[in-house]
Structure 1
Amino acid sequence: MSDTATHATHMAPPHEARASTADWIAVAAGGLGALMATLDISITNSALPQIQGEIGATGTEGTWISTGYLMSEIVMIPLAAWLTRVFGVRNFLLANSALFVAFSMMCGWSNSLGMMIAGRIGQGFTGGAMIPTGQTIIRTRLPLSQLPVGMTVFGLIVLLGPLLGPVVGGWLAENIGWKWCFFINLPVSIALVTLLVVGLKPDRPHWEAFLKADWPGIAGLAIGLSSLTVVLEEGQRERWFESQMIVTLTGVSLAGMALIALSQFTAKRPILRLSLMRNPRYASVIIIVTAVGAGIYGISYLLPQFLSLVAGYNALQSGSIMLFSGLPAFLMMPILPRLLGKVDFRMLVVSGLLLFTLSCMLDISLTAQSVGHDFMASQLIRGAAQVLAMMPLNQASMAAVAREDSADAAGLYNMARNLGGSMGLAIIGTLIERRETFHAAVLREAVSANSLIGQERIATSAAGWYERTGDMAYSQMRALGQFAEQIQQQAMVMTFSETFWLLGIALALCVPLALLLKKPQPGATGSSAGH
């Protein structure tokens, strides 16, 4: 039996009918760690202007505050299973909690961009480990009968963390100070360490797993995924392959992927278990979660952008609209475990994907007068859709693999969700820029100087300005400028509508894959149940 299998057996005795108090404390620790990690992904978004002003960073440089976190997090997520085997779950999480606080304090005390980015990279490494490890704790500490409760709570945390981040960050920045976006992690980490000490038994390191590690795969993972994340996050701002940096990082990313592919054939136990993808049930989960990840991250980008650029909302106002999608999660919490235990996973995921598609289609009829309350219905439907799609996917990913493979499966699952988000944002960013330019050009051509409607609009506007200023040349200039802004705004609205439509179609195309999902059978154990 492998170290992982032995460890899993030790953590969840096969004859244990119900989880003990210590098991639930361990589960709470895993959930709290995941909440802290997911919250910190987006907590700086609302406070970014204040942070940039304090450390003297430009708008473009400030994007690295978020990119640094995502870059390191996506590398750590698939490494977590191996590091857990090496150091033991308790030792690994205790060390990560302490380091996460240290890097958070570093960010809060930063007075330069370099120091801030270094702190955020450290936060990403240590925070990224907490998400798959928390999922593994739930899978291995809870019996099958109680697994829906644990996975429901964990799934809600992963969904709500990114939604709460901008609101919490915006409130802290406005009322206390941006430094508290990072200092708030100190009391949370103290609580986390306490739960870990009480809920997890001491375990010894397995240094042979370190010495026999898949080092080519680890190197490929580190350079490949980190470079790919930077390419996806920064590509649009750098004009893609017009930038030497993007070209170089693309080459580095391909080299890293080649090392990962090589390790699949040469390593006894590859660091990234791509062999799990040979299981069609697990592969379907990964494809769906990648698409849903792109949808969730895409909406979290699209909606605030629309509210800011078109409706004139500030970050805190946009965040409050985003929170509407979290309301169904709270309302459904009492019935979710029962749904997951009794209803076919495939029906839940299909329902979630179709509702997600519907929510996107409700937003394709946007106008320049659309404001926050116009998104209320779509946000509520979207919130229910995310719950119905993501909750079963969490469990289906675990149900599709053997128990001893749960740590590797959790790492690949969470990596796919984040990578899907990065790819979605990259595609959406490129689409918005190019389609907005296209629509603006078409509109300008349609309302050229020969357009009677255009001339009438400009003349009316100029007359209004002339009444206020008495300067005809100035009034005509303001009228032309106002008309150009209206054209740009309409082009922007048309582009956002198209993007929502394409997101909806992409999610709808995943529906057939949901038919391949596998539901855990009550009372089944071991690999026979897919566990």
Structure 2
Amino acid sequence: MTLGHLLRALQPPLRDPAPAGPPPLTPRLLLGLAGAWLAALMALLNSRLVSFGLADLRGALGVDTIDGTWLSVAYSMGEIAVVPLTPWLAGIFTGRRAIVAATLTLTGAGLVCSTQPGYQVLLVSRFLQGLGGGALIPLLLMSLLRFLPLHQRAWGFAAYACVTVLTPTIAETLDGWYTEALTWKAIFWQNLLLAPPACFLVLVGLPTEPVRLEAFRRGDYFALGTSAVGLAALVAALLQGQNLDWFDSGTINGLFLLAGVMLAAFVVHELRRPNPVIDLRLLRKPNFTLDLVLILGFNIALLGPAYVLPQYAVQVQGYREAQIGTILIWLALPQMLLAPLAALLLRVIDARLVLAFGFALFVTGAGLTLRMTGEWVGADLLPGLVIQGCAFPFVMTPLVFIATSSLQMQDAPSGGALFNIVRSLAGSLASAVVGAVITVRERVHDAVLLEHLGGGALAGTPAAEIAARARNQAFVLACTDAYGLIGLAGLAALLVVLLIRETPRFPRPGAARSPA
């Protein structure tokens, strides 16, 4: 008996290829969803690991700083370009096959990267990795909505929140161990450990559905192409703007122009079609639109522990990735412990209250970090870090619920695509804004401190030492300014929560199922 025959024998049959509601939730179906979750975790790890291990990767390949940053940007471009295509491809090949194909693409392209090919081949491989990894996060959400009964979705949303929020912490710890105990190539080898069980669980657990190749003839290729190219160009411009001096760079101007033309053409085209690929009219739904706005605030909040603190630890305290991982683990532990509680609360409390509590808790943690000085070490960072870790499960889980509860069954593909586009785009936009704040404020503080110190504040101290002290302190002050911006984003998000209309609660087991 071949492997294909074995998988078909183990496969649970799906009597109706297009059921009105989810099939019965069985242990085998739960295994399939676990495989989709594992594949999504692998995708996000590949994105973050190369970002954290970029210095080691650049050194091994012998490329300069700017060329090295394109290795991360290439992944991000592929990651967002594939999001508009994912619902369409999943509708043709089914989510089960799409998850396996995306996982194999991610793994295969990663193995090419580990062979240390030429720079151009590495860029293409990273883009292909992004295509595979970028599809896995929407496919996980689609699978949860497709196969989980309504009264069980809170637990699925909590699992989705964990995989999207915990990854930066796990990636930092793993990257430190890989680069110090093994080699930078292990960043890509890890896929060989995660991909086989993920694919096996998906193939065994998720139901088999027919391929619908006739949909290729009805594909709106203009909309798919303009959205993919426009989003990829916009992400590249946002992520590389800081490195290339923004609008002083012809590359950045060209990317923004390309993004503007492509996305404008996509919007006009979609609004004129009766059956658009992504129904932009969903933005008329107040709760759904406000939820997308909150996604931006949440991604800014994430950058506090995931971006600002690691930069502080590296530049001020001289930490390596492994040392940073020992700090960020305290961000992960509260999330893992409290994610089930967030899911439980959504079954008995209005999602707006859970969301407001999460943002309020985050603002409290960010406020504690505003007192940061150049003498702060790991123990000093922990109080604010732990409070922020406690906040995140109470933010992301209700955000997913509010977005999905405002959609009807026919709106789910477009709504899921918009949700994941904004989620990906918000991360790039937030990184660009916070990175620019740190750079600009560091220059301002450096100039002020040098003017003060040069006036005799440290008489007898060599000029080079004065400049070094000023740069160090200026960077610390810039990090606190960035945290101030992050705290303000949390406060603004609290005000937006007040505008959200009342949301339904999850029904009890045995209640009537909603078609959505």
Whether TM exceeds 0.5 here: the answer is yes
Instruction: Please give the alpha-carbon distance, in whole angstroms, between the structure 1 residues aligned to 2:512 and 2:484.
Output: 42
Using the TM superposition, give the Cα deviation of residue 9 of structure 1 relative to its aligned residue in structure 2, in angstroms.
7.7
Does residue 192 of structure 1 match 2:192? no
Change (3 A) 1:205 1:331: same
Equivalent in 369, 381, 385 of residue 391 of structure 2: 385
Could you tell me which amino acid in structure 2 is paired with residue 429 of structure 1?
Answer: G
Q: Which residue of 2 aligns with 1:269?
A: 275
Instruction: Please give the alpha-carbon distance, in whole angstroms, between the structure 1 residues aligned to 2:15 and 2:496.
Output: 30
Could you tell me which amino acid in structure 2 is paired with residue 420 of structure 1?
Answer: A
Q: Which residue of 2 aligns with 1:257?
A: 263
Does residue 425 of structure 1 match 2:431? yes
Instruction: Please give the alpha-carbon distance, in whole angstroms, between the structure 1 residues aligned to 2:464 and 2:320.
Output: 24
Identical-residue share of aligned pairs (%): 27
Change (3 A) 1:217 1:297: farther
Could you tell me which amino acid in structure 2 is paired with residue 103 of structure 1?
Answer: A
Offset from partner CA, 1:290-331 (integer Å, 9 cap, x none): 210122135411111111111221122122212211111122
Equivalent in 413, 435, 440 of residue 441 of structure 2: 435
Gaps of 5+ in 2: 1-13
Contact 1:443 1:491 in 2 (8 A): yes
Instruction: Please give the alpha-carbon distance, in whole angstroms, between the structure 2 residues aligned to 1:238 and 1:130.
Output: 31
Q: Which residue of 2 aligns with 1:519?
A: 504
Does residue 484 of structure 1 match 2:437? no
Contact 2:35 2:198 in 1 (8 A): yes
Question: What is the root-mean-square deviation in Å for CA atoms of aligned residues?
Answer: 2.0
Instruction: Please give the alpha-carbon distance, in whole angstroms, between the structure 1 residues aligned to 2:340 and 2:396.
Output: 16
Contact 1:88 1:205 in 2 (8 A): yes
Aligned pairs for 1:135-154 within 5 A: 135-154=141-160
For residue 82 of structure 2, give the secondary structure of its aligned residue in structure 1. helix
For residue 80 of structure 2, give the secondary structure of its aligned residue in structure 1. helix
TM-score (norm 1): 0.89
For residue 184 of structure 2, give the secondary structure of its aligned residue in structure 1. coil
Contact 1:350 1:511 in 2 (8 A): yes
Instruction: Please give the alpha-carbon distance, in whole angstroms, between the structure 1 residues aligned to 2:399 and 2:22.
Output: 27
Using the TM superposition, give the Cα deviation of residue 193 of structure 1 relative to its aligned residue in structure 2, in angstroms.
1.4
Q: Which residue of 2 aligns with 1:4?
A: none
Instruction: Please give the alpha-carbon distance, in whole angstroms, between the structure 2 residues aligned to 1:520 and 1:403.
Output: 17
Equivalent in 489, 494, 519 of residue 477 of structure 2: 494
For residue 170 of structure 2, give the secondary structure of its aligned residue in structure 1. helix
Pick the structure with greater CA Rg.
Answer: 1
Moved more, 272-281 or 330-339: 330-339
Instruction: Please give the alpha-carbon distance, in whole angstroms, between the structure 2 residues aligned to 1:432 and 1:216.
Output: 39
Instruction: Please give the alpha-carbon distance, in whole angstroms, between the structure 1 residues aligned to 2:353 and 2:34.
Output: 29
Does residue 75 of structure 1 match 2:81? yes
Equivalent in 398, 406, 417 of residue 404 of structure 2: 398
Does residue 503 of structure 1 match 2:495? no
Could you tell me which amino acid in structure 2 is paired with residue 178 of structure 1?
Answer: W
Q: Which residue of 1 aligns with 2:381?
A: 375
Equivalent in 260, 265, 284 of residue 290 of structure 2: 284
Instruction: Please give the alpha-carbon distance, in whole angstroms, between the structure 1 residues aligned to 2:436 and 2:339.
Output: 37
Instruction: Please give the alpha-carbon distance, in whole angstroms, between the structure 2 residues aligned to 1:13 and 1:215.
Output: 28
Could you tell me which amino acid in structure 1 is paired with residue 201 of structure 2?
Answer: L
Change (3 A) 1:333 1:352: closer
Moved more, 33-42 or 297-306: 297-306
Aligned pairs for 1:105-254 within 5 A: 105-254=111-260
Contact 2:291 2:402 in 1 (8 A): yes
Offset from partner CA, 1:27-53 (integer Å, 9 cap, x none): 112211111111111112333222112
Moved more, 318-327 or 375-384: 318-327
Contact 2:305 2:328 in 1 (8 A): no
Offset from partner CA, 1:367-392 (integer Å, 9 cap, x none): 11111211101111111111110111
Count matched residues. Answer: 498
Gaps of 5+ in 1: 1-6, 462-478
Using the TM superposition, give the Cα deviation of residue 204 of structure 1 relative to its aligned residue in structure 2, in angstroms.
2.1
Contact 1:396 1:520 in 2 (8 A): no
For residue 85 of structure 2, give the secondary structure of its aligned residue in structure 1. helix
For residue 476 of structure 2, give the secondary structure of its aligned residue in structure 1. helix
Instruction: Please give the alpha-carbon distance, in whole angstroms, between the structure 2 residues aligned to 1:448 and 1:156.
Output: 49
Contact 1:304 1:319 in 2 (8 A): no
Offset from partner CA, 1:319-365 (integer Å, 9 cap, x none): 22122111111222443332221121101100111111111111111
Contact 2:233 2:259 in 1 (8 A): yes
Aligned pairs for 1:84-103 within 5 A: 84-103=90-109
Contact 1:219 1:259 in 2 (8 A): no
Could you tell me which amino acid in structure 2 is paired with residue 45 of structure 1?
Answer: S
Instruction: Please give the alpha-carbon distance, in whole angstroms, between the structure 2 residues aligned to 1:201 and 1:8.
Output: 10
